[in-house]
Amino acid sequence: MSDKVLMKGNEALAEAAIRANCRFFFGYPITPQTELAAYMAKKMPKAGGLFMQAESEVAAINMVYGAAGAGARVMTSSSSPGISLKSEGISYIAGADLPCLVVNIVRGGPGLGGIQPAQSDYFQATKGGGHGDYHMVVLAPASIQEIVDLTGEAFDIADRYRTPVMIMGDGMLGQMMEPVTFENVGKGASDLPEKTWATDGTHMKRKKNIINSLYLQPEDLEKLVLEREQRYQVIKEKEVRYEASMIDDAEYVFVAYGTTARIVKNAIKTLRAEGYKVGLIRPITLFPFPEKILAETAKRVKGMLCVEMSTGQMVYDVRLAANGACPVEFFGRTGGVVPVPDEIIASFKKMVGGDK
């Protein structure tokens, strides 16, 4: 018998977070991530932790700010409209250098949009969302097992670099069930820095700590922003994750992340059977973006096709990475419509013309 269990993405993420020693969850209900909060409500108290349903997404993210500032391993989760509300708080969290995990189970937008799967929050996740010079590390799992494995890593990355980390899935990943094992979820890496900055009371033994993002002197603020930018550079060097599949002999390469990458894999199977030499680069970290592998690959392939559940957001980063070395085309469905392999294949054939 297998030691794996069948779990929904939302629930598996919650279980992984608890196993990764997260003991504080602040949230607000929204489809399609609600099972995550419900699971937390059930299991957190049993793990000696706290689940709190806040009065709004705004309050929830600011509770995360307070708890993170107090030194806790803490998270929140939501879906697109809720993430817009949390974006103010995320900017403050980034500005105060606080570690935390934010989960976005993306649904169609803008506005209330819909509740079906989408990837149209890529810009928001990777280019800011909130105001100011900051980034979140953004992880984009493509399976329930990967959700579980990345959840543990997400907390470690957050603690290591004192940064908010986002796990971005889509409604399909949140709702679907796949077999998972939790054996690889760590309880926190042993080499994580101590949280000497936390506001847990001076106990009259140290100078006071201040959690803050306000610096009225431009030179002071610039210094801090540049120091943070240095950290982003280290993150770019050390934390890039991607999957490259069948790219060695590929003449054309698909670029897709999350659920979409799985659909593209089906298309690739068909195209390979027809004799097309095609491969896939699947960014797992959306920030830092796997620029290097894309730049290298762009130099030796005839073209790239970026597929997203949006009107084309990640494709901007793919084009920047390719830097003109090869054409980068785009195919997408949006509004909650999931692309099917046949239309991806058709789009690919249109791009390559008769070139096999």
Measured from the CB of residue 269, what is the shortest distance to another protein in angstroms? Answer: 7
**AA identity, residue 175:** Q
State which residue, 214 or 273, has the beta carbon closest to another protein.
Answer: 214
Sheet holding 74-78, edge to edge: 50-53, 24-27, 74-78, 100-106, 164-170, 137-139, 285-287
Segment interacting with another protein (CB under 8 A) among 37-45, 119-127, 197-205, 234-242: 197-205
93 Cβ contact partners less than 8 Å away, ≥ 6 residues apart: 61, 64, 65, 68, 100, 164
Among 81, 128, 133, 209, binds another protein (CB under 8 A): 209
State which residue, 158 or 322, has the beta carbon closest to another protein.
Answer: 158
Site for another protein in 211-240 (CB under 8 A): 211-214
Query: Rule CB under 8 A: is residue 26 a binding residue for another protein?
Result: yes
Residue 12 CA, distance from chain mean position: 16
Measured from the CB of residue 209, what is the shortest distance to another protein in angstroms? Answer: 5
Site for another protein in 45-74 (CB under 8 A): 50, 52, 54-56, 58-60, 62-72, 74
State which residue, 134 or 289, has the beta carbon closest to another protein.
Answer: 134
What whole-number distance in Å separates Cα of residue 44 and Cα of residue 348?
Answer: 47
Is the previous residue joined to 110 through a cis bond, with omega within 30 degrees of 0? yes
231 Cβ contact partners less than 8 Å away, ≥ 6 residues apart: 161, 162, 163
Query: Rule CB under 8 A: is residue 21 a binding residue for another protein?
Result: no
Query: Rule CB under 8 A: is residue 263 a binding residue for another protein?
Result: yes
Q: How many CA atoms lie within 13 A of 62 on its CB side?
A: 8
Query: Rule CB under 8 A: is residue 172 a binding residue for another protein?
Result: yes
Give the binding-site size for another protein (rule: CB under 8 A): 65
Write the binding mask 277 to 316 for another protein: x where contact by CB under 8 A, - elsewhere. Answer: ----------------------------------------
What whole-number distance in Å separates Cα of residue 278 and Cα of residue 251?
Answer: 6
Measured from the CB of residue 295, what is the shortest distance to another protein in angstroms? Answer: 27
State which residue, 235 or 247, has the beta carbon closest to another protein.
Answer: 247
Query: Rule CB under 8 A: is residue 112 a binding residue for another protein?
Result: no
First to last CA, the chain: 45
CB 171 within 8 A of CB 106: yes
Is the previous residue joined to 290 through a cis bond, with omega within 30 degrees of 0? no
State which residue, 53 or 291, has the beta carbon closest to another protein.
Answer: 53
Residue 84 host element (H or E): helix 80-95
DSSP annotation of 194: P
Query: Rule CB under 8 A: is residue 342 a binding residue for another protein?
Result: yes
C-alpha pair distances (Å), 231 with each of 39, 236, 252: 34, 9, 34
Query: Rule CB under 8 A: is residue 131 a binding residue for another protein?
Result: no
State which residue, 62 or 285, has the beta carbon closest to another protein.
Answer: 62
Residues making contact with another protein (CB under 8 A): 1-2, 4, 6, 24, 26, 31-32, 50, 52, 54-56, 58-60, 62-72, 74, 88-89, 92, 96, 115-116, 171-172, 175-179, 199-205, 208-214, 259, 262-263, 265-266, 269, 338, 340-342
